Amino acid sequence: MLLKDLDIIVTAPPAPGWGGRYWILVKLTTDDGIVGWGECYASSIAPEAMRSVIEDVFARHMAGENPENIELMFRRVYSSGFTQRPDLTVMGAFSGLEIACWDILGKARNRPVWALLGGRMNDRIRAYTYLYPLAHHDVAAFWTSPEMAAESAADAVARGYTAVKFDPAGPYTLRGGHMPAMSDIKLSVAVCKAVRGAVGDKADLLFGTHGQFTTGGAIRLAKALEPYTPLWFEEPIPPDNVNEMAKVANATSIPVSTGERLCTKAEFAPVLRSGAAAILQPALGRAGGIWEMKKVAAMAEVYNAQMAPHLYAGPVEWAANIALATSIPNILMCETIETPFHDQLIKGSIQVEDGFITPPEAAGLGIEVDEDLARANPFTGTGLHLEMQEAPCDYANGNAFTGGAPASE
């Protein structure tokens, strides 16, 4: 069994576009006809440019190889061009291809991927969701409305979720960390208070910040949020300075989480060594793939840290997250996005029921991809999957984060 053919589909979820502007799906086929699916969560270059990177990584390091040899292929890619260091774009390409290899291996053995990773550790996986606008909400007003956030949280809890995430403290600016505006601190506190009031002790609050702040600014915000006992304070400063993030972690009672922008064990290990975070959030379609993050999960065990795989992508990466989560003892929860398009793209093959995910028993990733649907929704825009704003924090008029990268109007 050898890797033979590669196909790449860049599909765009329809409005409102939760999960990003596009998803890069890869389809690998072996010389004996087994098909495996993966997803590349890489957004630093345009999808057409990323297509070329994926094709080069496959042709140069994987074509003609036995899909079992994941460690060998990883080392080839990690060392490509005399690097042997994390490369966000190249690792993003390999990660999706690696996920497809695991899908192939599971199908070849008629076993779920989790069974090949050490077996079933967890009978079900706790899921969490972002707070998204409900049908009757004004989408533009939602992101700065504590009342609407509370309604959305109550709805999520009614559907069985025991954890909800929100990030009202924007903006995400390419200028790097900044001090939060007092209006942003006030809004963040108001949202936490409203959501806590709506869910009581039935759900954990997950506070997203995504690298906006300076060290001192993150500590100021954390102190304001502590009365509402969030389960985590997500990526409070830019993720490249783990020693400064450790200062934040040491200054607050809220556990710090990070990881969606990190790749390979080389970037996760310093986070653990420095005590910068107690919860790791790898995006498996970027971070090096399933096997590399299985190693990171093992490292995290040593530091008494937990895993909470990130998802702002499509359901193929979600399936990979679930396979990993099923096999490790230190899983906290998995991010989930429930939209009709997510569900239809994998033909409903994995479901959230009462806030939990039951690991699939079907072979491979346990999903059936609707290839026709993926091809019928091509991405035709010019934006990247996610983007930061160029304007600085507005200290006079307030700020509004508008929910990631909704589909273009």
Note the pLDDT tens digit of each residue in 341-377: 999 999 999 999 999 999 999 999 999 999 999 999 9
Q: What pLDDT, in 10s, does the model give residues 31-57?
A: 999 999 999 998 899 999 999 999 999
* E strand or H helix at 35: strand 35-40
Q: Which helix (H) or strand (E) holds 29?
A: strand 23-30
With cut-offs at 50, 70 and 90, classify the pLDDT of residue 405. Answer: low
Rounded Cα distance between 180 and 165, Å, is 19
pLDDT above 60 for 189: yes
Q: Tell me the β-bridge partners of 204.
A: 163
Q: Predicted confidence band at 404 (pLDDT cuts at 50, 70, 90)? A: low
Structure confidence by residue, pLDDT tens digits, 112-164: 999 999 999 999 999 999 999 999 999 889 999 999 999 999 999 999 999 99
Question: 134-139, long-range: CB within 8 Å, 24+ apart, which pairs?
Answer: 139/16, 139/403, 139/406
For the residues of 191-220, what is the DSSP string, one character each? Answer: HHHHHHHHHTTSSEEEEE-TT-B-HHHHHH
Q: What is the mean pLDDT of residues 399-403?
A: 75
* Pairwise CA distance, residues 355 & 378, whole Å: 31
Q: Inform me whether the pLDDT recorded for 12 exceeds 60.
A: yes
Instruction: Say how far apart CA 364 and CA 185 lie, in whole Å.
Output: 45
DSSP for residue 295: H
pLDDT at 395: 96
Residue 137, burial from CB neighbour count under 10 angstroms (0-12, 13-18, 19+): middle
**CB-facing half-sphere around the CA of 100: CA atoms within 13 A:** 34
pLDDT score at 409: 43
**Percentage of residues in the chain having pLDDT higher than 70:** 98
Burial class (CB in 10 A: 0-12, 13-18, 19+), 201: exposed
List the one residue out of 272, 227, 275, 269 whose CA is nearest residue 250.
Answer: 275
**Could you tell me whether strands 352-353 and 35-40 are parallel, antiparallel, or unpaired per DSSP bridges?**
unpaired
Structural contact between residues 147 and 194, judged by C-beta atoms closer than 8 angstroms: yes
Reference 230, options 198, 204, 212; nearest CA is: 204
**Pairing verdict, β 23-30 and 3-11:** antiparallel
pLDDT beyond 90 at 320: yes
pLDDT category at 406 given cuts 50, 70, 90 is: low
- What is the rounded average pLDDT for all residues in the chain? 96
Q: What is the pLDDT of residue 17?
A: 85
Whole-model pTM over 0.95: yes
Q: Nearest CA to 271 among 285, 287, 284?
A: 287
